[in-house]
Amino acid sequence: MTELLKNFVGGQWVEGRGPGTALHDPVTGAELVRVSSNGLDLPAAFAHARDTGGAALRGLSYAQRAAMLGAIVKVLQANRDAYFDIATANAGTVKNDSAVDIDGGIFTLGQYAKWGAALGDTKALRDGGAVKLSKEGGFQTQHVLVPNRGLALFINAFNFPAWGLWEKAAPALLSGVPVVVKPATATAWLMQRMVADVVAAGVLPAGALSIVCGSSVGLLDALTPFDVLSFTGSAETAATIRQHPAVAHHSVRTNIEADSVNSALLLPGATPGDPSFNLLVREVVREMTVKSGQKCTAIRRIFVPADLYDAVAEAIGAKLAKITVGNPRNETVRMGSLVSRAQFDGVTSGIAALRAETEVLHDGTQHGLVDADPRVAACLGPTLLGARNAEASPIVHELEVFGPAATLVAYRDVPHAHALVRRGGGSLVCSLYGPDDAALSDAALELAPAHGRVHIVTASVESQQTGHGNVMPQSLHGGPGRAGGGEELGGLRALGFYHRRSAIQADATLLDRLSALPFPA
Amino acid sequence: MTELLKNFVGGQWVEGRGPGTALHDPVTGAELVRVSSNGLDLPAAFAHARDTGGAALRGLSYAQRAAMLGAIVKVLQANRDAYFDIATANAGTVKNDSAVDIDGGIFTLGQYAKWGAALGDTKALRDGGAVKLSKEGGFQTQHVLVPNRGLALFINAFNFPAWGLWEKAAPALLSGVPVVVKPATATAWLMQRMVADVVAAGVLPAGALSIVCGSSVGLLDALTPFDVLSFTGSAETAATIRQHPAVAHHSVRTNIEADSVNSALLLPGATPGDPSFNLLVREVVREMTVKSGQKCTAIRRIFVPADLYDAVAEAIGAKLAKITVGNPRNETVRMGSLVSRAQFDGVTSGIAALRAETEVLHDGTQHGLVDADPRVAACLGPTLLGARNAEASPIVHELEVFGPAATLVAYRDVPHAHALVRRGGGSLVCSLYGPDDAALSDAALELAPAHGRVHIVTASVESQQTGHGNVMPQSLHGGPGRAGGGEELGGLRALGFYHRRSAIQADATLLDRLSALPFPA
């Protein structure tokens, strides 16, 4: 039997009961490790996090907590090679794709360490200035941001076991809020190892960071009114979480980042081969293939003027044809595997559903696999579908296929394009391409209400732009409606979720006594 | 048969089907008017609000929409006398209590008109400055706030038919978001009349403001992903709303302001008759009796040092004994009736439940009624209960009696007091009293995480302080956990709920083109 990974709860490493669930190498099918959360005393674990971890964290200043984040960065950097090995084995990703997760997580932690240091030696933040409530001005209101007195429960997605933890934990810990994280089972190994390294290094106070690997049963039931919950995953599970009695009855503050059908939009005026045309093609190919399209921000819909439909299809297809697919251990392979055979089956059936209403412009099943057995490996070539008549393909705006697949859609004019983008019902990100800056900035404001982020790629920033799908800690990550309605990152904005805003009304001179520093605007 | 009030939906006054539900005078029992929302085409009504109302509002600048709020203020001021008559008849409130609702609503609208004018002639707002994403600095991120492209549905409480509409509608309309409001049936008349007056005056674009009177059946089902929902009412209904499929599946952004067991806390060091002691007593009596205690912010729990328990009980009881109760039309009456006989029954049974674990310090049933028949009128004198041993009365922290009742609780020391306050599980407001400014400001930061507002009353602001229960538009209104987890008002902070925050990533010079003005910090 393979190793049964332990859970870290209540300040101890605890083995779950039973044989547990096995994690596999998605390329070879080999069993790697097992996880089980059966039999854990979650209410006691949560109480320890809240009472011991929360009190210890709140006893530190922002600058002290920021220094802790810096210490975590050092621990992770020291063990970086082991993380890449785990990612290759458990996620089937090539080195560049593993880096998006591992180095992305370390980078995000480092940013919050830097930003947090600037918050200084205080334990509460002022939100805006004091405002007069009486004509005389002697009685005023001062809003403050104070750390939540509960814990932060993270229920994470399988595609970012490293970054997915740290992009949430960095602002939570910086805010003084203890973290309990439940990784997705399929790829839980990497996150468990990172937590183990951080625990072993002793850089966090007891109770500040706990991990539960395996089933999520009982986690939500253990939540109480001052806790917060952050979920990343499918829209379906998100709805179940929202409706959970503990969440509904205790007003547990919830942040949800769900799947979405993100768009790339080429505005009118481009011609085949000009810079905006080429930038769109390159970005689409990158988004379809990085991490085998298993990014919640990946481009799923590509909108182009009807007269460019054929040229774009041909250009994307030509680049996709060159993508080598297979075992990530082979250096000639550009795109590794999906994280599991279950995901492979899901993506395959999703593509079949899309094909019922679209044409196939590039067929991923025609890619041969390098060093991988197609009967075992969860490897799949990239597939481009097409909807020349947008009105005939409603499924394109509804179904997210979480793999290397996207659909090209032709539009008539700009209002038609905007309406089609909005049919996604709210997405994480939309990228814009086009030759005219004024048209691009207008489209950005027009589409912003339906997106957490609008990413504009022009020739002037070709070498500097950070990528449609890359989530930069400086920018908001989340989106309305279908995308879950959440808000993460965005620099220090992320601290809002882990703080309670409160208005303190008092004598103006008494308000001066509040030992709180200004929140940076 | 009395008049059947019409609904204003789809730009028309529409009568609901059937006889409807009657609204009564809670003092005389007389039927006043009827309401019915049966048979309304809500999906069509909502589409009209979104498409016609939303487009028209978004076509205006903040300054133009602020001017509309100013125009609403004028309409309401011109019809103010009629509103007081309706309040007396339908809510049973004395003139001062009606003013809290009516003039409070007008004041709040006026404040947003003023603040909105300062936002200027733009249709989107910048949220912070642009931040570099590339080392070279050519690629940057700029967060913006853009109006939500859906509608705002308000499901309101019976206790504030006027203020409850305008404190929500002012920031919504200023944000460019159309409003559909459903008043609580028992007191729907006042809100319906106000909307009728505003519609008749033609100061809002078509579709900007709709009202549905009667049942709420079908309202939530008609919501779509870009809509927002704001609910004020019981924690029980709040949980049902959160779990509604449309809300859960469309990630409808929801703000909930639920009931809570708010506290007044007298810190150690006071002696009977000194200023902080007297200020507590006065504030408690006012909060227990204004609007017959039917304010979600009213003081329900009073925490005092154990050695002051008897003196505080005596002082509050002496003042309560002088409160005249009965028909609000009689000028000697200080406290009118509850809004309905159903509320009377609920409050009576709530007090009975509290009495099972507390002692009666002042018995409201001993108050005679002025000009009112106790068999008919929903009038009830103020009741003060007491828990000398806090540990023996857990119900005090759980049950909110929504009427003129509160419980005095003795505490041992400051940590005990804080722990008892927090047992409310999150409240809208806590007021603090005590002789020592440093102790007051420390307690404020310590209790802020459990409250949307902390209100400190000292002798220095005796004549200026705005009252424990009064919701000032400058300050946040809402609270965590039991209080619903919502955030309303707080000056321009209220606009956040009606805007979508989005990060626009682009060439730095392209970002300069965004026609958006800075959001005031």
Query: Parallel, antiparallel, or unpaired for β B179-182 and B152-155?
Result: parallel
Three-class SS of A27-84: CCCCEEEEECCCCCCHHHHHHHHHHHHHHHHHCCCHHHHHHHHHHHHHHHHHCHHHHH
Q: What is the pTM of this model?
A: 0.96
Task: Work out the minimum CA distance from B222 to partner chain A, whole angstroms.
Answer: 14
- A519 DSSP assignment: P
Look at residue A72 in the predicted model and tell me its pLDDT: 98
Interface membership of A425 toward B (CB under 8 Å): yes
Contact predicate A391/A420, CB 8 Å:
no
Q: What is the mean pLDDT of residues A242-264?
A: 92
Q: Which pLDDT score, from 0 to 100, does residue A120 have?
A: 92
Taking a contact as any Cβ pair under 8 Å apart, which residues of chain B between 52 and 71 contact chain A?
Answer: none
B379 in active site: no
Q: Which of A 285-304 lie inside 8 A of B, CB atoms? A: none
Instruction: Kindly state the average pLDDT of the residues B454-475.
Output: 97
- pLDDT of the residue at A128: 93
Q: Among residues B296, B379, B430, B487, which one is catalytic?
A: B296
> Which among B243, B464, B513 has CB closest to A248?
B243
pLDDT tens per residue, range A320-352: 999 999 999 999 999 999 999 999 999 999 999
Phi, psi of B455 (to 5 degrees): -115, 115
Q: Give CA–CA dist A137/A10, Å, rounded.
A: 49
Q: Is A268 exposed, middle or buried (0-12, 13-18, 19+ CB in 10 A)?
A: middle
pLDDT over threshold 70, residue A69: yes
Question: Could you tell me if B480 lies within 8 Å of chain A, comparing CB atoms?
Answer: yes
* Overall size of chain A counted in residues: 521
**What is the tens place of the pLDDT at every residue in A129-186?**
999 998 989 999 999 999 999 999 999 999 999 999 999 999 999 999 999 999 999 9
Cβ of B450 under 8 Å from any chain A Cβ?
yes
Residues in chain B within 8 Å Cβ distance of A453: 502-505
Chain A residues within 8 A of B475 when measuring between CB atoms: 133, 141, 143, 503, 505
User: What percentage of chain B reaches a pLDDT higher than 70?
Assistant: 99
- For residue B421, the 8-state DSSP code is H
Q: Does the beta-carbon distance from A441 to B514 stay under 8 Å?
A: yes
Q: Report the percentage of chain B scoring pLDDT > 90.
A: 94
Q: Which of residues 204-233 of B touch A (CB under 8 A)?
A: 225-226
Pairing assessment for the beta strands B383-387 and B405-411 based on DSSP bridges: parallel
Q: How confident is the model at residue A1 (pLDDT cuts 50, 70, 90)?
A: confident
**Is A133 in the B-facing interface, judged by CB distances under 8 Å?**
yes
Pick the range with the lowest mean pLDDT from A227-241, A295-309, B77-91, B400-414. Answer: A227-241
Closest Cα in chain B to A511: B441
Q: What is the mean pLDDT of chain B?
A: 96
CA distance A22 to B323: 71
DSSP string, B111-167: HHHHHHHTT-S-SSEEEEEEEE-STTSSEEEEEEEEE-SS-EEEE--TT-TTHHHHH
Average pLDDT value over all residues in chain A: 96
Q: Which of A229, A454, A505 to mutate to test the interface with B (most CBs of B within 10 A)?
A: A505
pLDDT at B420: 98
Q: Which of B107, B431, B464, B515 is the best residue to mutate to test the A interface, defined by the most A CB atoms within 10 Å of its own CB?
A: B464
> Which positions in chain B touch A516 (Cβ < 8 Å)?
445
ipTM exceeding 0.95, yes/no: yes
User: For the stretch B6-31, what's the b/e string if a residue is b when 16 or more beta carbons lie within 10 angstroms of its beta carbon?
Assistant: bbbbbbeebebeeebbebbbbbbeee
Q: Tell me the pLDDT band of A510, cut-offs 50, 70 and 90.
A: very high
How far apart, in whole angstroms, are the C-alpha atoms of residue A267 and residue B356? 70
Considering only CB atoms, which chain A residues are within 8 Å of B490?
A: 143, 501, 503
The pLDDT tens digits of the residues spanning A12-55 come to 999 999 999 999 999 999 999 999 999 999 999 999 999 999 99
Please tell me the predicted confidence (pLDDT) of residue A514: 86
> Are the Cβ atoms of A506 and B146 closer than 8 angstroms?
no
pLDDT at residue B521, rounded to an integer:
52
- pLDDT for the residue numbered A521: 52
Q: Which of B167, B213, B257, B287 is catalytic?
A: B257
The predicted structure's pLDDT at residue B441: 95
CA closest to A424 among chain B residues: B225
Q: Which of B128, B161, B156 is nearest to B143 (CA)?
A: B128
Burial class (CB in 10 A: 0-12, 13-18, 19+), B3: exposed
Look at residue B236 in the predicted model and tell me its pLDDT: 85
Average pLDDT in the B47-75 region? 98
> Residue B517 — pLDDT band, cuts 50, 70, 90?
confident
